Amino acid sequence: MATTADIRNGLNIRYNGKVYTIIDFQHVKRGRGGAFVRVKLKDVKTGRILEETFDSGEEIEIVRLDFRKFQFLYKDGDEFVFMDLETFDQIHVPSDLVGDNALFMKENETVDILFDGDQILGIQLPTFVELEVVETEPGIKGDTVTNVMKPAKLETGAVINVPLFIEQGEKIRVDTRTGEYVERVK
């Protein structure tokens, strides 16, 4: 067990049965009374941010999380099937753990899966993915003065806004963190 003296940004701890990452902390010394540590925690599974206060010297449980490389194989009903790139074992991940990442995952895509021991906490896609536009309205020539966007359906089924010059069949780069168009891929 560690104490509050070991707290630093980016440290993973178990608190109230959940795994959190420390985003920010501040050591506060009061005029009278003991010092305390004010901590901003981010839930690893849900992404919710929580502010907590620990007394100075209080024990905390540090958790070691592992990222492992997996390849997305296919969707099987309400689960996604991934293959470990080192052992070639296949695992089934429920769709609620995949979340919105499913909108930008195509088959044979390499992803990082976050583990706490043998328990899956989440999935992290590459920052940028290249996807093909399968459906969009044709752009109107000469309508490029302003930054006008139009909806486009991608090969994974996601619908994002793209500039007017993007046409059906073109490959584009998408930011998986925001779900926004980045650039056209040549």
Evaluate whether 130 touches 171 at the Cβ level (below 8 Å).
Answer: yes
Percent pLDDT > 70 in the chain is: 96
Average pLDDT over every residue of 34-44: 90
Q: How do residues 123-152 score in pLDDT, each as one tens digit?
A: 888 999 999 999 998 876 665 566 788 899
Average pLDDT over every residue of 28-55: 88
Question: Where do the CATH 2.40.50.140 domains begin and end in the chain?
Answer: 65-124, 128-184
Residue 186 Cα distances to 19, 86, 106, 130, 171, angstroms:
42, 32, 19, 11, 7
Sheet holding 66-76, edge to edge: 90-94, 79-84, 66-76, 110-116, 119-124
Residue 30 has pLDDT above 90, yes or no: no
Within 8 A by CB and 6+ apart from 138, the residues are: 167, 168
CB atoms within 10 A of CB 156: 17
Question: Where do the CATH 2.30.30.30 domains begin and end in the chain?
Answer: 4-62
Residue 164 has pLDDT above 90, yes or no: no
pTM, entire model: 0.73
Superfamily of domain 65-124: Nucleic acid-binding proteins (2.40.50.140)
Percent pLDDT > 90 in the chain is: 41
CB atoms within 10 A of CB 4: 18
Evaluate whether 178 touches 127 at the Cβ level (below 8 Å).
Answer: no
- Tell me what pLDDT residue 111 has: 93
Evaluate whether 163 touches 147 at the Cβ level (below 8 Å).
Answer: yes
SS3 62: strand
**Beta partners for residue 113, in sequence order:** 68, 123
Report the CATH architecture of 128-184.
Answer: Beta Barrel (2.40)
Mean pLDDT over each residue of the chain, to the nearest integer: 88
Q: How do residues 71-126 score in pLDDT, each as one tens digit?
A: 999 988 899 999 999 999 999 998 888 888 888 998 999 999 988 888 888 888 89
CATH number of 4-62: 2.30.30.30
Residue 40 has pLDDT above 60, yes or no: yes
- Tell me what pLDDT residue 117 has: 83
- Tell me what pLDDT residue 141 has: 65
Candidates 52, 30, 32, 33; CA nearest to 43 is 52
Burial of residue 119, with CB atoms counted within 10 A of its CB: 0-12 exposed, 13-18 middle, 19 or more buried: exposed
